[in-house]
Structure 1
Amino acid sequence: MVRSPLTPQQRAAGQRLGAFLRECRGDRKPAEVAHAASISPETLRKIETGRLATPGFATVAALATVLGIPLDELARICLPEMDLPSTG
């Protein structure tokens, strides 16, 4: 099955997600975070740089858990045009 090319909106969401995850990682080493999330350091690098704009849900959920980020916060970053309910 051939995958459709990503839209500009999907690429932009991937860049926002990657930049936010990189910011949340702080001083932690990429290999440490990747290992804790059960992904390769290369996959983490691709996500953080936006080269992997649409990572799988399990990967995103694992990174969110390791970095202590609520999934609804990631949804707001990836989908800023959506009116998501607030949690507080």
Structure 2
Amino acid sequence: MVRTPLTPEERLRGERLGLLLRQARAGRSMAAIAAHAGISAETLRKIETGRAPTPAFFTVAALAGALGLSMDELLVSCAAVPEVVPLAG
């Protein structure tokens, strides 16, 4: 099966998610957070570094719970920034 290439927006959203997770971890070990979320430390590392920019919903939900983040907070922080289109005139 061939995977569809990610759009620039998907990559950017993945980078934002990774940054937010790193900030929320705030010095706690990657292994401890990953274990609490029920994922491997390598999976968390890939998400945090942007190598896995589109993790499954349940993975994100588990990480949010382990880090004390709300899904709403993640959505707002990682949502695509709307493109500004100049008005024709």
**TM-score, normalising length: structure 1:** 0.88
> What are the Cα deviations for residues 40-84 of structure 1, in whole angstroms up to 9, with x where unaligned?
0000000001110000000000000010100011011221436xx
The aligned residue for residue 69 of structure 1 is 69
Cα deviation, residue 27, structure 1: 1.2
Task: Give the conservation status (yes or no) of the 8 Å contact 2:9–2:80.
Answer: no
Which sits farther off after the overlay, 56-65 or 72-81? 72-81
Gap regions ≥5 residues in structure 1: 83-88
Alignment RMSD, CA only?
1.1
Find the aligned partners of 1:79 and 1:20 in 2 and give their Cα distance.
12
Find the aligned partners of 1:45 and 1:17 in 2 and give their Cα distance.
12
Find the aligned partners of 2:52 and 2:17 in 1 and give their Cα distance.
10
- What amino acid is the match of 1:16? R
Matches within 5 A, 1:11-50: 11-50=11-50
Q: In percent, how many aligned pairs have the same letter?
A: 56
Find the aligned partners of 1:81 and 1:72 in 2 and give their Cα distance.
16
The aligned residue for residue 85 of structure 2 is none
The aligned residue for residue 51 of structure 1 is 51
Cα deviation, residue 2, structure 1: 2.2
Is the radius of gyration larger for structure 1 or structure 2? 2
